[in-house]
Structure 1
């Protein structure tokens, strides 16, 4: 991706949390907001793709693996096709890293220090 996620000073990019459970989505959004990032939430893959089209400043997507309709892996593939500048990190409380080979993975429940590491990884 060219631009490091570690922004030190002002961050001019945003994050998108894609999660079908509204409470979990709100938690994810709050974690990134606490890190000083503009953060958006989407409830499914179609909503995420719409937001990515509307918000070119989104550079990082945290997407649940298991969602109705388009799952997180399918969403990641579509994002790679449409916006290869975006880093996608998959997450789940039900599947492990081995099921999402090829993508960075963060297990649920999320821990603040792990989310901070995701932001600081180029």
Structure 2
């Protein structure tokens, strides 16, 4: 199961992190190879958005940790440093098994919650 933890705050300044939410879930595709970590996270956030809402960001930065949960332990897999500014969101993504990726900016709405913003950033990787 994936464990997604979202924090308000810039990833290089952990003393100012504010925990926003935790989202857990698992998505297994039919008739294809398994999703990679970021694809699965995008799908989990998509399913979550259909059922629940999360808080709106309080600032311009979000830090997202994605891990694989087994029992009570979470093995870290990826970290996203998301910047939200002037209706656009982008991220620097560091993951365990891939080189660093900087996403292109994607449009976000002023009323998007943190899970929606992260989902939009992850969806842009597939386009």
**Bucket of the pairwise TM-score, normalised by the shorter protein:** under 0.3
TM-score, normalised with respect to structure 2: 0.27
| Higher RCO (CA < 8 A, seq sep 6+) | 1
Greater strand share, 1 or 2? Answer: 2
Question: Highest CA radius of gyration, 1 or 2?
Answer: 2
Greater helix share, 1 or 2? Answer: 1
